[in-house]
Every structure is written in C-alpha cells, then in structure tokens.
C-alpha cells in the first residue's frame, strides 16, 4: 500500500478523500494548519489510528511541507480557501501555496513519487458561453478571484510537469454531499421552509457531482497512466437546470409543496457585502462573498466529463436524488448538533457572553433611537435602566433558549417587547414617541407589533453571536 501526502485534509472534499484512501489500505499524512477544525477527521482517527498522521503546517509559509513529504508515493494537493474577501488572500494560499509545495517536492524529490495530483476547480475554466458543455480544450476564462488563482496555480503545476514531475490536474464542478457547507448552508434551509430560490435566469444550468463519486474520480486520475500530464473535468455526465437541481433537493427532503422565489443577482451581491461585513465581527465564514456571488450570477456552468470516462473509465454513478438524500440527512444531523453544541459550554462563560452581547445590542438600538429622535424618556436618565433591561431580558432569553430553534426564540423576544411597550403606553409612560415617524401608526397595538419584529431579532442575534464565538474557540490552537 502507498504512502500519501494530502493537503486540505480536514476540508469537505479532503476528509472524504482521506476516508477513501485509508479505506483502501493506504497510509495518509495530512497537512493541517494550527487553527484547523479537525472534527471532520475524528471518525478517521478512531477507525485508522495507525495509518492517519497529521503534520501541522501552512501552505502560505511552507511550514510542515518537508516533514510531510518523506517517502510519499502520491501527493494530493487540495489545500485552498473558498470564502476570503480579497484577491490577495486567494493568491496567498492557492498560488503561492502551490508554488511552495511544488518547490518542496522538487527539493526533496521523493524517489518513489508516482503522481502529483492537483485538485483545481471548474472556476479555473470559467463559465460556459452557452448551455452546451465545454471540454478541457477550451481556453480558461475565469470570472472570479478564486477562478483566476486556480488557473494560475494550474499553470505552475504544468510548468513542473514540463520539467519531469508526474502531474495530473482535475477540475471538480459544483460538489454536494455530506459535510458540504455552502449549498447546505443556504439552499437547504430555504427549501426546508418551503421556498425554492432561483438566482438569476430560469435557464441557468450547472454541472454537479456527489462528493463520494468525485473522490473516486480523483484517485482514478492519480492511478491512471493515461492521465499523466493532462487536465480533466470531474462531474455528472449531464448538467442540470438550476431549477431542476433545487426541485430535486425538495424531493430529497420530502417537501411536497414550495414557493418559487426568484432572487435577482444584484440582491445576492448586496447580501454578500452584508455577509462579509458581519463575518468581521463573528470571525466566521461568510455565508456568501462578492466573489462567490460573481460566480453564481453566471448563466451557464456546463462541462463535459467524457475525457475522464475515456482515459480512466470514471463516471459519476450516484443518482442525483440519492446523493442529495445523503447530503440532506447529514445536514439535518449537523443542524441538530449545532443547536445543542453551545449547551456544552460552561454556563458562566455563556452567561457572560449572552448578557454582554444583549447589552451592546440594546445600547446600539437606543443610540440609533436617540440620533433619530424617535422617542423621549421622562426623566431622560431612564435610558440607562432601559439599556440594562435589554441586556437582562434578552440575555436571559438567549441563555435559557440555547436548545431552541430560531422561530420560538424570535416569538418570545417579540412578545416580551410587546408586553413592555403596551405596559408603558397604558400605565407607566416612561417614554413617549415623537410625532414622526411612529406617531402615524394608528393605534399602540399596531406600533408595538411593527416594532416587535426588529426587537424580537435581538435574542436571535445574541444567541447566534454567542454560539459563533464559542465555535471559534473549538478550533485547534485558538
């Protein structure tokens, strides 16, 4: 059995590839960063304690690369970044990191090296100009920072191939399956709620592949003599209409009805700006970025995988609905674990965060109200007890509802505000609304109901931020 060096080991595709290689009896040395989340690898450590070894390093600096290359026969290079917010961040890991890895391989030149396989992306080729699938012979036309970085990294690999390094490049299309985060993080929740989003044109087409099929194709390419020095698209034989793909998600979820929701591309770009801004405060991964929105807004992402079938007899054989059923089941399990995960945090730590976040949100709300002259307190110093009340009420709600879903947390938060607002209107009179803009709302009940929507989101945001800060601490070395 072979000794394999794998970058991107703990990632979505990398963890599935490691599982396949270990299952076939190979020894895997995986490169991970000091802050990598290793939970995806925990089952593999338990199953293959003697054949999975990790090297702590970083493609961006070259640390750990030499130690990982000792005696390897295959190098699978998957290490990349998907959601940074600048082209420089893409290039640092994808282009410079690939260069450093290639230099380390050339410097050490493992005597038994059989293949350096680079996992690139369909984004390196860019979208197809028409609905007709493109082949590997088409010149690359990337439209995103990510795609351009992948294209340039491919060129570095080819240059080393021309110098005698046994290389192969594969370009996966859109990948779905267990542990995937982008489709399952955005589309799955919407479909679960009975909404089928459609971004851009109804004619949009996408090439997709189930992750377990993909990793089999990656290994087949690395083992194939015919694949030496070549580049391949890896995807299902037939591209899908975007609407058909989302409808199959609904079928996999057992949703019998749903509402189709067209989402203009410009709306996705605006959402991306907000998501990037929010990620600066949570230190988390944005739900979408401007760069990803730029890719998603393209009409056609259609490729042909016929070269892979011709040269190493690989065909993505899992029916779309079966792969999506597995992905949906995994997503539901992850949602349940994520809901319960913050409950494992020490109560004192969780309380400090919840009360602090709620207090800050309350202060922000009252500062905005003061700037807008929406209402006045009598006496004015009551603003401070009210801010403290936000912290106590919504901090307590966020703390006590750690096992709740979003909807009941929102409803209780809204109900608390409605009760406070109506009590003030009829009995206490601690604050009075200005004639504009809220004075035009006809009755206090309507005003309380309208304002309860943004205020009801406070415990939801408090809980989300508290959980995000906790998960950030779960990262190795953080």
Backbone angles phi and psi of 113, in degrees to 5: -65, 120
Placement of tokens 């390419």 in the chain? 221
Tell me: the pLDDT tens digits for 183-195? 888 888 889 888 8
pTM for this entry: 0.76
**Are 301 and 236 a contacting pair, CB within 8 Å?**
no
The one-character DSSP state at 440 is G
For residues 166 and 283, what is the distance between their CA atoms, to the nearest angstrom?
A: 39
pLDDT at 327: 96
Identify which of 359, 374, 363, 347 has the alpha carbon closest to the alpha carbon of residue 459: 359
- Which is more confident, 135 or 425? 135
Tell me: the pLDDT tens digits for 239-292? 999 999 999 999 999 988 878 888 787 888 888 887 788 777 656 677 788 898
Instruction: Please report which helix (H) or strand (E) contains residue 98, including its range.
Output: helix 87-108
Placement of tokens 């090296």 in the chain? 113
CATH architecture observed for domain 3-339: 3-Layer(aba) Sandwich (3.40)
pLDDT at 353: 85
The mean of the pLDDT values for the chain is: 88
Identify which of 86, 118, 30 has the alpha carbon closest to the alpha carbon of residue 476: 30
Helix (H, G, I), strand (E, B) or coil at 86: coil
What distance, in Å, lies between the first and last C-alpha atoms of the chain? 35
Q: Which residues pair with 5 in a beta bridge?
A: 29, 75
In this prediction, residue 476 has a pLDDT band, given cuts at 50, 70 and 90, of: very low
pLDDT at 477: 37
Instruction: Please report which helix (H) or strand (E) contains residue 90, including its range.
Output: helix 87-108
- Decide: residue 241, CB within 10 A, 0-12 exposed, 13-18 middle, 19+ buried: middle
Tell me: the pLDDT tens digits for 85-116? 889 999 999 999 999 999 999 988 888 899 99
C-alpha torsion sign, points 143, 145, 150, 152? positive
For residues 234 and 222, what is the distance between their CA atoms, to the nearest angstrom?
A: 13
For residues 100 and 95, what is the distance between their CA atoms, to the nearest angstrom?
A: 9
Q: Where are the domains of the chain?
A: 3-339, 345-473
Tell me: the pLDDT tens digits for 65-91? 988 898 899 999 999 988 888 899 999
Tell me: the pLDDT tens digits for 282-326? 566 777 888 988 898 899 999 999 999 999 999 999 999 999 999
Highest mean pLDDT among 110-114, 210-214, 395-399, 464-468: 210-214
For residues 421 and 427, what is the distance between their CA atoms, to the nearest angstrom?
A: 10
Helix (H, G, I), strand (E, B) or coil at 122: helix
């Amino acid at each position: 059995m072979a000794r394999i060096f794998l970058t991107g080991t703990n990632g979505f595709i990398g963890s599935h590839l490691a599982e396949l290689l270990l299952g076939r009896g190979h020894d895997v040395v995986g490169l991970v960063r000091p802050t990598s989340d290793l939970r995806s690898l925990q089952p593999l450590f338990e199953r293959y304690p003697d054949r999975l070894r990790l090297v702590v390093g970083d493609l961006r600096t070259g640390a750990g690369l030499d130690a990982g290359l000792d005696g390897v026969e295959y190098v699978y290079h998957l290490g990349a970044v998907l959601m940074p917010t600048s082209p420089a961040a893409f290039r640092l890991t994808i282009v410079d990191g690939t260069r450093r890895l290639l230099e380390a391989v050339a410097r050490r030149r493992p005597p038994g090296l059989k293949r350096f396989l680079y996992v690139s992306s369909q984004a390196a080729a860019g979208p197809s100009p028409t609905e007709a699938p493109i082949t590997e012979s088409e010149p690359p036309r990337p439209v995103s920072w990510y795609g351009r970085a992948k294209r340039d990294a491919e060129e570095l690999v080819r240059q080393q191939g021309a110098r005698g390094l046994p290389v192969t490049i594969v370009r996966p299309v859109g990948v779905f399956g267990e542990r995937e985060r982008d489709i399952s993080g955005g589309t799955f929740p919407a479909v679960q709620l009975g909404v089928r989003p459609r971004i851009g044109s109804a004619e949009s087409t996408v090439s997709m592949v189930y992750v377990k099929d993909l990793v089999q194709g990656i290994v087949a390419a690395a083992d194939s003599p015919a694949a030496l020095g070549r580049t391949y698209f890896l995807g299902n034989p037939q591209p899908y209409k975007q609407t058909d793909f989302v409808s199959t998600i609904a079928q996999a979820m057992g949703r019998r009805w749903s509402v189709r929701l067209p989402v203009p591309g410009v709306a996705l770009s605006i959402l991306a700006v907000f998501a990037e801004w929010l990620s600066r405060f949570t230190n988390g991964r944005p739900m979408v970025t401007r760069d990803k929105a730029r890719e998603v807004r393209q009409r056609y992402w259609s490729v042909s995988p016929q070269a892979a079938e011709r040269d190493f007899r690989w065909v993505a054989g899992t029916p779309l609905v079966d792969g999506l059923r597995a992905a949906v089941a995994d997503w539901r399990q992850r949602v349940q674990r994520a809901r319960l995960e913050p409950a494992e945090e020490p109560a004192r730590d969780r309380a400090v965060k919840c009360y602090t976040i709620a207090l800050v949100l309350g202060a922000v709300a009252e500062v905005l109200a003061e700037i807008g002259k929406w209402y006045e307190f009598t006496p004015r110093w009551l603003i401070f007890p009210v801010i403290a009340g936000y912290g106590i009420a919504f901090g307590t709600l966020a703390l006590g509802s750690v096992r709740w879903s979003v909807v009941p947390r929102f409803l209780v938060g809204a109900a608390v505000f409605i009760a406070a607002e109506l009590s003030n209107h009829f009995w206490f009179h601690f604050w009075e609304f200005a004639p504009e803009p809220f004075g035009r709302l006809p009755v206090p009940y309507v005003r309380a109901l309208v304002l309860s929507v943004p205020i009801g989101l406070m415990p939801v945001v408090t809980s989300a931020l508290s959980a995000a800060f906790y998960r950030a601490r779960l990262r190795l070395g953080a």
